[in-house]
Structure 1
Amino acid sequence: MDGVEAEGRTVNEATEKALEQLGLTRAEVDIEVLSEGRPRLLGFRGEPARVRVTPKPAPPPPQRPPAPAARPEAEYEDEYEEGEEEELPQELRRPPRPAPTPVPVDAADVEVAVNVLKDLIRLMGLEAEVTAREPITAGDGIGMIQAVLDVEGEDLGLLIGRRGQTLASLQYLLNLIVAKQTNKRVAFGVDVDGYRRRREEALVSLAKRTASRVRGTGRSVTLEPMPPNERRIIHLALADDPNVMTVSIGEGEGRKVAITPTR
C-alpha cells in the first residue's frame, strides 16, 4: 500500500486524516512531518501542517472493507442538528475503529507544559490555576495526548472563544512552544473550566440519539459538519454498538459523520 500526504491545522489533525485514508492505526504506519504549519494569529494568515504517512511492512492483512477517502461557540448539544436520513453507498460503510490506547507520559514534559501554559495565560492578563491529569475519554484525547491541562479560574471565556476556536489555538501554541523547549514532539490537551467535558457529553448524547433513530428507521443519518476532535468523539461513542457504523465524509470544514445501520 502506498503512503499518503495530508494537511490539517495541526500535525495531529493532518495525521488523523492520513490514517483515515489508509484505514490504519498509528502503530501500523511511519509518520513523516513535512511541515508543522503555522497557526493564524492576530489576523495573519496561517499555514497548514502537512504529513506523509506510510504503512509499515507487514504480512498481508485479512480482507477489510475499503476505507473512505481521507479521514473547535454554542457549546451544548443543540448546536448540531441530528441531520437528514439518506442511503449511503455500500463502499462508504466500515466497521468501528478499535478503542484508543494510552500515550506514554513523561513527567518532565508535563511540568514544562504546565509552566508554559501558566505563562501564556499570564501574558493574556488572566489569572488561573493549571493542573495536569491523565486523559480519560475521547473528549480528553485519550490515545493521542500525554496529559490534559485543566485551567480553572474566573472569567475565562476569553480562553475558549467562539465554538472553542481560541482554545484550539491556545492548545496548538502550547504544543509548539513545548516541542521547541523539549526538542521532541509532544501532545497536550487543554481544557478550560470543563468546556471540553461538557461538549463531549453533549456530543455523546447526540450520537446515542441519532444511533437510536438509525436503528429504528433502518436508514443512514448524516450529522452537521464538525471539527476532527468532535467527529472522533462521535466515532468512539458508537464504536461498541453492533447495530450501527460511522464514517467521516466530505472535505475540509464541511467534513461530517454519517451513521449507518449494519447490514
Structure 2
Amino acid sequence: MTEGTISAAESADEAGDTLTRLEQEGEIAADYLEGLLDIADLDGDIDMDVEADRAAVSIISDSARDLQKLVGRDGEVLEALQELTRLAVHRETGDRSRLMLDIAGFRAKKRTELAELGAKAADEVKSTGEPVKLNPMTPFERKVVHDAVAAAGLRSESEGEEPQRFVVVLPA
C-alpha cells in the first residue's frame, strides 16, 4: 500500500472511532445536563443519539411545561444551554463539539416548521422566477432551510451579518 492510502479496515476503524467519540460527547453532555436539571430541581430524561455526524442530546419529560423554562423565548435559553454543554464537552475532551441539544421537542418542531418554510419559499421561487428573501435566522435555522431548498432542487445563500443573517432562495 502506498503512503497516503487508507485501507478499508483503517477506514472502518476511523468510522468506529468517530462514533465512539460522538457517543463519548453524548455521555459527557448527558452528565452535565443531569447536573443542571438537579440544580434547577427539574424532572427530565436524557436521550442520546448520533445524527449526521454529530452527537444529539434531548431532554424530555412528561411535564414538558416545566422544561419550557429551559427553552426560553424563541429558544434563546436552549441556545445558551447548548453552548454551555458544548463547552463542558470541550473541557473534557479538548475537542470542539458540534453537539445538538433539544429540549421538550422544541428543536424537532422548529426543524419541521423551517423545512416547510424552505419548501414553500422554493415553490414561490419556482412559480415566480424571482429570489425570495426570508427573515433573519440562527445558524441552525438557516441550515434547515438551506437543506429544504436543496431538496426542492433549488439553491440558496445566506446574506447579511449576525444576528441579522438571512436566507435568500434563488431560481435554478
RMSD: 1.6
Task: Give the whole-Å Cα distance in 2 for the aligned partners of 1:197 and 1:156.
Answer: 15
Give how far 1:229 is off.
0.8
- 1:151 alignment partner in structure 2: 59
Give how far 1:192 is off.
1.0
- 2:120 alignment partner in structure 1: 209
- 1:251 alignment partner in structure 2: 161
- 1:3 alignment partner in structure 2: none
Q: Which residue identity does 1:151 align to in structure 2?
A: I
Percent identity among equivalent residues? 30
- Contact 2:156 2:167 (8 Å CA) reproduced: yes
Give how far 1:182 is off.
2.7
With normalisation by structure 2, the TM-score equals 0.81
Q: Which stretches in structure 1 are left out of the alignment for 5+ residues?
A: 1-102, 136-141
Query: What secondary structure does 1:229 align onto?
Result: helix
Q: Which stretches in structure 2 are left out of the alignment for 5+ residues?
A: 1-16
Query: In the TM superposition, what whole-angstrom CA distance separates every residue of 1:129-156 from its partner, at most 9, and x where no partner exists?
Result: 1110122xxxxxx34x2x1111011211
Within-5 A mapping of 1:1-263: 104-105=18-19, 106=21, 107-135=23-51, 142-143=52-53, 145=54, 147-153=55-61, 154=63, 155-242=66-153, 244-262=154-172
- Contact 2:28 2:88 (8 Å CA) reproduced: no
Query: In the TM superposition, what whole-angstrom CA distance separates every residue of 1:62-106 from its partner, at most 9, and x where no partner exists?
Result: xxxxxxxxxxxxxxxxxxxxxxxxxxxxxxxxxxxxxxxxx9232
Task: Give the whole-Å Cα distance in 1 for the aligned partners of 2:111 and 2:148.
Answer: 10
Task: Give the whole-Å Cα distance in 1 for the aligned partners of 2:170 and 2:35.
Answer: 46
Higher relative contact order (CA 8 A, sep 6+): 1
Query: In the TM superposition, what whole-angstrom CA distance separates every residue of 1:161-187 from its partner, at most 9, and x where no partner exists?
Result: 011010010011111112112333333
With normalisation by structure 1, the TM-score equals 0.54
Task: Give the whole-Å Cα distance in 1 for the aligned partners of 2:157 and 2:25.
Answer: 34
Q: 1:220 to 1:128 in 2, by over 3 A?
A: same
Task: Give the whole-Å Cα distance in 2 for the aligned partners of 1:259 and 1:183.
Answer: 38
Q: Which residue identity does 1:246 align to in structure 2?
A: S
Q: Which residue identity does 2:168 align to in structure 1?
A: A
